[in-house]
Amino acid sequence: MIIGIPKEIMNHEHRVGLIPSDVARLKQSDINHQILVQAGLGEEIGFSDAMYQEAGAKIVPEAKEVWEKSQLLVKCKEPLESEYKYLRKDMILYSFLDLAYSKELAQALVDSKITSICGETIPGPKNNYPILAPMSEVAGKLAAQLVAEYFCTHRGGRGILIGGCAGVPPAKVVVLGGGVVGMNAAKTLVGMGADVWVLDIDVHKVSSHPLVVSNKVKLLYATEEGIRTALKGADGIVGAVLVTATQTPKVIKREHLKLMNQGGVIIDVACDLGGCIETIHQTTHDDPTYYVDGILHYGVPNMPGVVAKTSSICYSNESMPYVLSIANKGWKEMLKMPGALEGLNAYDGKIGLKTVATAFGLPYIDAKTLIG
């Protein structure tokens, strides 16, 4: 099979689809595989072209050649509009897609009749979303760092130290969602000395977490009363709500912002699927923030892209079982792997996620009908 890995073109997206050691694993699995890597793919994060060549890849100068020659194209982030022209029926695309947020991308997949496999919708054999989970861990920890950074006056914040100091109280930060993103954000915030509150609709799921058991965080139901209690006098919010393959519900309304301290900070990790804050919209790493009612909002959808070495190693390693299966056995056999069926996002002009197909009024295909 001809397998291609192009450079990402999203703003400050420096992750790679596969790291050199995993390219070597792919090549070793079948010496006849041709692996095309765009020149400079991993240069910014320490993976040189020479390393990819040593792993068995061929370096090609332009993205166009990678796209046009590849039977299996491995990316990290979804294709952008300028890349839609490369999508075609005889290609398999493996990538994160955030499809529930983009009707335009969903329509492009339908129009091109491409076969699309998405790592973020693969629950895996333990139903723990093995490819999405490490990206969520990265995003949660990074969100905590960003809260601390944007509290600083030169970044637009109200000039407070997240952990306070002798005689001055720490910042109060509210985390919406007690999943992988939320509890990694909470863990990092606690480590920095913040006063951390966690909101979740299922407190029993979170109640056994070590941070809760040890009383390091305050856990509340994500009801209207709980939201108002937590946000009163809050300095920061980390949005960490996820509903797989569905646009994120708006948990925090604009009216809630007045409960926060002026100059507060919102980092909405969920913005890649629409966000859980009513006032959030997507931004970029070059222009990441804006204000609504005196509250600084950060809505970058590809946060892990700027800690790309850590993120790429996680993404590549967790993706390898599925990429190897596609390359060596075919995508239909990959879908037969435990917990992999939901990975089919599009096939032959139809969408493989019922929630997305219904929301956008697009034709739906049940992956079960394809594998018998």
68 has a pLDDT exceeding 80: yes
Q: What is the 3-state secondary structure (H, E, C) of the chain?
A: CEEEECCCCCCCCCCCCCCHHHHHHHHHHCCCCEEEEECCCEHHHCECHHHHHHCCCEEECCHHHHHHHCCEEECCCCCCHHHHHHCCCCCEEEECCCHHHCHHHHHHHHHHCCEEEEHHHCCCCCCCCCCHHHHHHHHHHHHHHHHHHHCCHHHCCCCCCCCCECCECCCEEEEECCCHHHHHHHHHHHHCCCEEEEEECCHHHHCCCHHHHCCCCEEEECCHHHHHHHHCCCCEEEECCCCCCCCCCCCECHHHHHHCCCCCEEEEHHHHHCCCECCCCCCCCCCCEEEECCEEEECCCCHHHHCHHHHHHHHHHHHHHHHHHHHHHCHHHHHCCCCCHHHEEEECCEECCHHHHHHHCCCECCCHHHHC
Dump pLDDT digits (tens) for 261-276.
999 999 999 998 899 9
Q: Which domains does the chain have, with CATH numbers?
A: 2-122+307-371 (3.40.50.720), 138-305 (3.40.50.720)
pTM reported for the whole predicted model: 0.93
Dump pLDDT digits (tens) for 221-278.
999 999 999 999 999 999 999 887 678 899 999 999 999 999 999 999 999 889 999 9
Dump pLDDT digits (tens) for 194-203.
999 999 999 9
Dump pLDDT digits (tens) for 294-313.
999 999 999 999 999 999 99
